[in-house]
Amino acid sequence: MVKRLTPWLLAAPATLLVLAFLILPVGSTLATTFLEPKGWIAPYVTFFNSGVRRTVLYRTIEISVITTVLSVIIGFIAAYVVAHVPGRLKSIMIIAAVFPLLTGVVVRSFAWLILLGKNGILNSALLGLGLISQPLSMLYTEGAVIAAMVYLFVPLMILTLAGVLEGIPKDVLEAATSLGATPFGVFRQVILPLAMPGLIVGAVLVFTGSFTSYATPQLLGGEKQMMMGTLLYQRAMVTFDWVGASTVAAIMVVVTFVIVFLMTRLARRLNPMVA
């Protein structure tokens, strides 16, 4: 009897912490949106009847998906290089990849303000080379937000994929080549399926981080490129519309779960060994 209860007793503290600090707060937030006197779906009707809020939601999904795709591509290439370089150089490259994570998100976002501003480094370089006659307006655009997001999250993809790619046995790759597989065939039929678990984990981390981001969209996108995180802050801390803020939070939770579910389904289709 004691042996049967031991796993449950060991898991009980962590379970209680998750229940107290994650499930209950999220549950209470969702419950708030269904207790409105106007109707249990009234806050959601109000949200989706607003063209501005629908635009913010679609923009957030679009930016998050683009950021995820670019981060996966860049991170996969970088991680593949890291996984196949000699030991000492590999350590240096991993340190270089991790180094941006040692600074705060706000600091890294401010760096992009310096890079993309009208008097910034990029405009000054283009003017100096004679490629443009006047500074370009690169700040407060969707492109600026995406560029900064990709810069923020590519290190996560590299860290997630480097170990996975390094763990692929070289014998398997050599066997596929000896059986007549082309380099692309080796990548598609061997490397990609074996790396799929790491790809999905990294993509989920990048998407959820992008979708819930606040500082980067606020600094580089402003009101013109408002995202859901900024809208949530505005509802809660500026207008003190707690029901509206809870509605935004609930929609963000649902969208995140849906995207994670779709990514998992895609991974299972590409690699049946993914749980």
pLDDT digits 0-9 by tens, 96-145: 888 888 888 888 888 888 888 888 888 888 888 888 888 888 888 899 99
Domain residue spans in the chain? 40-270
The predicted structure's pLDDT at residue 61: 93
DSSP-based three-state secondary structure for 220: helix
Give yes or no for a contact between 148 and 112, defined as CB atoms under 8 angstroms apart: yes
Give the closest residue to 271 by CA, choosing from 207, 198, 175: 198
Distance (Å, whole) CA 129 – CA 132: 8
Instruction: Give the CA count within 13 Å in the CB-facing half-sphere of 166.
Output: 17
Which residue, chain included where needed, has tokens 């890291």?
82
pLDDT-derived band at 93, boundaries 50, 70, 90 = confident
pLDDT tens-digit readout, 46-66: 889 988 999 999 999 999 999
196 has pLDDT over 60: yes
CA dihedral 137, 140, 146, 152 (to 10 degrees): 110
Contacts of 202 (CB under 8 A, 6+ apart): 71, 72, 75, 156, 157, 160, 161
Average per-residue pLDDT for the chain: 85
pLDDT over 70 percentage in the chain: 97
Q: Where are the alpha helices (DSSP H) in the chain?
A: 2-18, 24-33, 42-49, 51-83, 87-98, 105-116, 121-128, 142-166, 170-178, 183-186, 192-211, 215-220, 228-233, 242-270
Question: For 50, left (φ over 0), alpha (ψ -120 to 50), or beta?
Answer: beta
Q: For the domain 40-270, what is the CATH code?
A: 1.10.3720.10
Residue 125's Cα: distance from chain center in Å?
A: 31
CB atoms under 10 Å from CB of 216, counted, come to: 28
Structure tokens of 164?
Answer: 């996975």
Q: How far apart are CA 118 and CA 136, in angstroms?
A: 6
Q: Confirm if 32 and 246 have CB atoms less than 8 A apart.
A: yes
**Which token pair is 247?**
């509605």
CA 269 to chain centre: 22
Q: How confident is the model at residue 1 (pLDDT cuts 50, 70, 90)?
A: low
pLDDT beyond 70 at 273: no
Over range 261-267, report the average pLDDT: 81
In degrees and rounded to multiples of 5, residue 110 shows phi and psi of: -65, -35
